[in-house]
């Protein structure tokens, strides 16, 4: 009997075809799995420990998926809950789940799998030579680890299996690899390991592997020889091309994919079209290796204030770069005199929208824009300093002339006040793996029961 | 001389995690793939992105009619110097490049 995994969409919060989800729930899946996040949107989520998506949207989608779970009567697992999968966002997702359960009155066991790493654990591993850099890796130190606001390890199949083994109805997992939540049950049931990881990789973005990428819902069947994938939305189909091309997506290497405990090699995979827009894949290989988990970490890299001005004067548009160069030099002198700060104490950058804001020094085209947007970005060790610099530069961004003997220009500020404090800037500070002997040694599992009937509600 | 975007279906770039960028050239058919595969010099592509050629990974995938390049991100995603959080604008440099 194959193991059937229903995937409502590539990530919770993007929506999915509801009719397709209902259809999927009725097709006897063995588990429902959905990804809760990624690093796609940058370091802010992990740095601050918050979700990217709105709580209301998350709750309403999660409620629908919980309803599908009820119909199917199978476990539901979400990985990388709350975009970053930090402990705080696992708790956030658990709270949403409790609210929904209170509204529906259903009795549920929830397992929370935490991926957060205390700095001390990683410092200890570093001292023992068990923290290894990937390419390229930021330099790290014990002190640096201690300054990170969140460190997570990416859970693999073993940790998800441990959570499922509790018998929980719903598993809310912190940071996991995109694939582990899909591969875990098929692997536990002895399905073909290469197929488990490859099918999981194809399925983890939902219907992106089909001809209707936004339709969300995907079903993957795993067996001893391979996997079969189908898109469930009306009119969406998987083709050998759409499925094999998905390995290109967001991978630096389309053939080799590393996971905890080994890697997936799809060079020998064969893709075959079946009836009904389904695709059969066989020939993927799982190669075991030392057990390592990837680490992600974020730290505060400063505080920012921005200012935006629009140049519409043709003379200034034509000489925007010269103007920025002069202005920057002038302001650095001013900041030095009035605030006692040297350029090494802060960053002041002006980007020219309409010239090279997107590509910077790599830009190789020039044009004649009608107007140019000047985005000033101040980065400083505190918000107070960034804000102060913003106020200091404000009148000059508005009026600074291209030459000393011309009338002062006035540019366009879109709103008042002209400066905006952005708060903390976070940056990714780890691109490393940590070797561990026991897969659960770096992860924490907790259980709770909601709306228990005829037994005491308990937390384990 | 045509630009790459004139003869292929699509050029796209995305982050492959916060530290890498991956660029996919979807050629659309075997003849275009053969032409593009031969005409795109790894060194020239590396120079376009200001990267040393030895750091550029290149995959020519005839089964998909795709040429793929991956390289360490010129700036780490989300750092103060990053201009494009999702790494999608780098594709345009290659798309607009002249192709033989």
Check: CB of residue A233 under 8 Å from CB of residue A215. yes
Which residues 252-281 on chain A approach chain B with CB closer than 8 angstroms?
Answer: 252-255
Distance from CA of B34 to the nearest CA of A (A): 18
Alpha helices, DSSP H, located in A49-192: 55-72, 87-104, 119-127, 142-147, 157-165, 180-188
**Distance between CA atoms of A115 and A82, rounded to whole angstroms?**
12
Asked if B39 and B48 touch (Cβ cutoff 8 Å), the reply is: no
Beta bridge partners of A111: A171, A447
A441 burial via Cβ count (<10 Å: 0-12, 13-18, 19+): exposed
A358 contact B CB<8A: yes
Contact A248 B85 (CB under 8 A): no
Q: Compute the CA torsion angle B89, A244, A228, A231 (nearest 10 deg).
A: 40
Q: Does A106 touch chain B (CB under 8 A)?
A: no
Of residues B85, B62, B65, B61, the one with CA closest to residue B73: B85
Distance CA A24, CA A51 (A): 27
| DSSP structural state of residue A84 | T
B chain contacts of residue A250, beta-carbon cutoff 8 Å: 14-17, 22
Q: Which of A229, A156, A231 lies closest to A187, judged by CA?
A: A156
Mutate which of A154, A254, A279 to test chain B, going by most B C-beta atoms within 10 A?
A: A254
| Distance in Å from the first CA to the final CA of chain A | 33
- The DSSP secondary structure of A26-81, one letter per residue, reads TT--SEEEEEEE-STT-THHHHHT--SS-HHHHHHHHHHHHHHHHHHTS-EEEEEE
pLDDT at residue A280, as a whole number? 97
Is B54 at the interface with chain A, CB within 8 A?
Answer: no
Residues 71-90 of B with CB under 8 A from A: 72, 74, 76-86, 89-90
**From the CA of B87, how many Å to the nearest CA of chain A?**
9
Q: Is A367 on the interface with B (CB under 8 A)?
A: no
Peptide bond into A136 cis (omega under 30): yes
Test B83 with A358 for CB contact under 8 angstroms.
Answer: yes
Q: HSE of A9 in the Cβ direction (CA atoms, 13 Å)?
A: 23
What is the torsional sign of CA A249, A246, A69, A58? positive
Chain centre to alpha carbon of residue A87: 15
Decide if A351 and B63 are in contact by the 8 Å CB cutoff: no
Measure the CA–CA gap between A318 and A316, rounded to whole angstroms: 5
Can you give the pLDDT at residue A207? Answer: 81
What's the gap in Å between the CA of A254 and the closest CA on chain B?
A: 8
B98: DSSP letter: B
Tell me the chain A residues in contact with residue B20 when contact means C-beta distances shorter than 8 Å: 252
| DSSP state at residue B13 | E
Non-local CB neighbours of B87 within 8 Å, separated by 6+ positions: B13, B14, B15, B21, B73, B77
Q: Interface pTM (ipTM) of the complex?
A: 0.96
**A117, burial (CB in 10 Å: exposed 0-12, middle 13-18, buried 19+):** buried
Which residues from A are below 8 Å from B10, CB to CB? none
Question: From the candidates B12, B17, B21, which should be mutated to test the interface with A, based on the most A CB atoms within 10 A?
Answer: B17
Looking up tokens 């709350």 gives A82
- The answer to whether the CB atoms of A248 and B18 lie below 8 A apart is no
Judged by DSSP in three states, B18 sits in coil
Structure tokens at A93: 């997702």
Contact B64 A241 (CB under 8 A): yes
- Chain B residues inside the 8 Å CB shell of A40: 15, 86
Inter-chain CB proximity B83 and A135 less than 8 Å: no
CB A299 within 8 A of CB B79: no
pLDDT of residue A184: 98
| 8 Å CB contact of B18 and A44 | no
Q: A with B: how many residue pairs have Cβ under 8 Å apart? A: 103
Chain A partners within 8 Å of B14 (Cβ): 249-250
Q: Smallest CA–CA separation between B48 and chain A, in Å?
A: 7
Question: Is B78–A255 a contact, with Cβ atoms under 8 angstroms apart?
Answer: no
A457 burial type by CB count under 10 A (0-12 exposed, 13-18 middle, 19+ buried): exposed
* Contacts with A304 (C-beta within 8 Å, 6 or more apart), sequence order: A377, A378, A379, A380, A386, A421, A422, A423, A425, B80
Structure tokens given for A79:
């990985």
How many Cβ atoms from other residues are within 10 Å of residue A288's Cβ?
9
Q: Which residues contact A201 (CB under 8 A, 6 or more apart)?
A: A178, A179, A246, A247, A257, A264
Q: How many CA atoms lie within 13 A of A422 on its CB side?
A: 21
Contact A183, A196 (CB under 8 A): yes
Residue B24: both structure tokens together = 């996919």
A300 touches B at CB < 8 Å: no
- Whether residue A47 contacts residue A424, with contact meaning beta carbons closer than 8 Å, is answered with yes
Nearest in space to B51 (alpha carbons), one of B68, B37, B69, B26? B69
Which structure tokens are listed for A243? 């499925």
Measured between alpha carbons, how far is A354 from A377 in angstroms, rounded to an integer?
17
Average pLDDT over chain B reads 96
A446 φ/ψ angles, rounded to the nearest 5 degrees: -135, 145
- Coil, strand or helix: which one is A170? strand
Rounded to whole angstroms, how far apart are CA atoms A292 and A30?
28
Give the model's pLDDT for residue A456. Answer: 43
Distance (Å, whole) CA A78 – CA A46: 17
Q: How far is B96 from chain A (nearest CA, A)?
A: 9
Q: Which residue has the tokens 């790494």?
A: B87
Mutate to test the interface with B, among A205, A252, A366 (most CBs of B within 10 A): A252
Residuewise pLDDT in 10s, chain A (460 residues):
899 999 999 899 988 889 999 999 999 999 999 999 999 999 999 999 999 999 999 999 999 999 999 999 999 999 999 999 999 999 999 999 999 999 999 999 999 999 999 999 999 999 999 999 999 999 999 999 999 999 999 999 999 999 999 999 999 999 999 999 999 999 999 999 999 999 999 998 888 888 888 878 999 999 999 999 999 988 899 999 999 988 888 888 999 999 999 999 999 999 999 999 999 999 999 999 999 999 999 999 999 999 999 999 999 999 999 999 999 999 999 999 999 999 999 999 999 999 999 999 999 999 999 999 999 999 999 999 999 999 999 999 999 999 999 999 999 999 999 999 999 999 999 999 999 999 999 999 999 999 877 444 444 4
pLDDT at B81 over 60: yes
């Amino acid at each position: 009997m194959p193991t059937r995994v229903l995937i409502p969409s590539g990530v919770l919060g993007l929506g999915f075809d509801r009719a397709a989800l209902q259809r999927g729930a009725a097709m006897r899946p063995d588990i429902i799995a959905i990804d809760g996040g990624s690093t796609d949107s940058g370091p802010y989520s992990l740095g601050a420990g918050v979700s990217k998506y709105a709580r209301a949207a998350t709750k309403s989608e999660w409620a629908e998926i919980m309803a599908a779970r009820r119909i199917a009567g199978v476990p539901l697992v979400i990985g990388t809950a709350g975009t970053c999968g930090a402990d705080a966002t696992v708790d956030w997702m658990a709270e949403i789940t409790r609210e929904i359960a209170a509204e529906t009155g259903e009795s549920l066991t929830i397992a929370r799998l935490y991926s957060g790493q205390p700095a001390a654990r990683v410092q200890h591993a570093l001292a023992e030579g068990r923290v290894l850099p990937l390419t390229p890796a930021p330099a790290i130190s014990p002190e640096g680890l201690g300054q990170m606001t969140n460190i997570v390890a990416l859970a693999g199949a073993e940790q998800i299996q441990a959570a499922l083994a509790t018998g929980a109805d719903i598993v809310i997992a912190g940071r996991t690899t995109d694939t582990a939540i899909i591969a875990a049950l098929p692997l536990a049931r002895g399905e073909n390991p290469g197929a488990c990881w490859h099918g999981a990789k194809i399925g983890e973005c939902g219907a992106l592997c089909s001809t209707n990428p936004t339709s969300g819902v995907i079903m993957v069947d795993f067996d001893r020889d391979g996997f079969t994938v189908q898109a469930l939305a009306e009119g969406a189909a998987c083709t050998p091309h759409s499925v094999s091309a998905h390995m290109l997506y967001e991978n630096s290497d389309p053939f080799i994919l590393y996971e905890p405990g080994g890697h997936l090699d799809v060079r020998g995979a064969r893709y075959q079209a079946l009836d009904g827009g389904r695709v059969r894949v066989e020939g993927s290989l799982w190669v075991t290796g030392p057990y390592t988990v990837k680490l992600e970490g974020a730290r505060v890299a400063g505080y920012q204030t921005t200012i935006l001005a629009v140049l519409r004067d043709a003379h200034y548009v034509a000489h925007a770069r010269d103007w920025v160069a002069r202005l920057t030099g002038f302001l650095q002198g001013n900041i030095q005199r009035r605030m006692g700060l040297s350029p090494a104490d802060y960053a002041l950058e002006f980007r020219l929208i309409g010239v090279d804001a997107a590509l910077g020094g790599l830009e190789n085209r020039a044009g004649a824009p009608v107007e140019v947007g000047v985005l000033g970005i101040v980065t400083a060790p505190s918000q107070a300093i960034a804000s102060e610099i913003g106020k200091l530069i404000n009148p000059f961004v508005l009026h600074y002339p291209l030459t000393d003997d011309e009338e002062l220009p006035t540019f366009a500020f879109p709103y008042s006040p002209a400066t905006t404090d952005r708060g903390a800037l976070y940056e990714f500070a780890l691109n490393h793996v940590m070797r561990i002997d026991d897969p659960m040694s770096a992860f924490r599992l907790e259980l709770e029961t909601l709306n228990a009937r005829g037994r005491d509600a308990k937390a384990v | 001389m045509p630009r790459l975007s004139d003869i292929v279906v699509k050029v796209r770039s995305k982050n492959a995690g916060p530290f890498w960028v991956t660029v996919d050239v979807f050629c659309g058919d075997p003849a275009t793939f053969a032409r593009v595969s031969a005409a795109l010099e790894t060194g020239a592509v590396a120079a376009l992105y200001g990267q040393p050629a030895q750091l550029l990974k290149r995959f020519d995938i005839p089964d998909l009619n795709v040429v793929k390049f991956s390289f360490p991100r010129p700036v780490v995603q989300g750092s103060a110097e990053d201009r494009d959080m999702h790494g999608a604008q780098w594709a345009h440099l290659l798309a607009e490049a002249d192709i033989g």
